[in-house]
Amino acid sequence: MVEAYILLTSAIGKVRDVYNQLEELESVQNVRIVTGPFDLIILVEAEDLSTLTNAVVEGIREIDGVVDTNTAIVVE
């Protein structure tokens, strides 16, 4: 099992819309709206690195309002 935290920047005025869509994705375990340089922090869990990559590229990054993501894979 692979876990990662995704630090996400959304378009202005789209944070709540992105949040709602993220909650519906199977790989998303937790999502929080935060302050600071990022708008949301997402905990993603996947079977392997390839599945994690697909979850980010074909799932999270395809959501309308997502501007940028930064993935931090959990190593310990």
Give the number of residues written for the chain. 76
Asked if the structure places residue 15 within a domain, the reply is yes
Residue-by-residue pLDDT tens, the chain, 76 positions: 999 999 999 999 999 999 999 999 999 999 999 999 999 999 999 999 999 999 999 999 999 999 999 999 999 9
Query: Whole-angstrom Cα distance, residue 54 to residue 56?
Result: 5
Asked if the structure places residue 21 within a domain, the reply is yes
Q: Which of 64, 42, 67 is nearest to 55 (CA)?
A: 42
Asked if the structure places residue 39 within a domain, the reply is yes
In this predicted structure, what is the pLDDT of residue 12? 96
Number of folded domains that form the chain: 1
In this predicted structure, what is the pLDDT of residue 60? 97
Strand, coil or helix: 53 = helix
Query: Whole-angstrom Cα distance, residue 8 to residue 22?
Result: 11
In this predicted structure, what is the pLDDT of residue 17? 98
- CATH number of the domain residue 37 falls in: 3.30.70.920
Find tokens 């079977």 and name the residue.
47
In this predicted structure, what is the pLDDT of residue 32? 98
Provide the residue range defining the domain that includes 39. Answer: 2-67
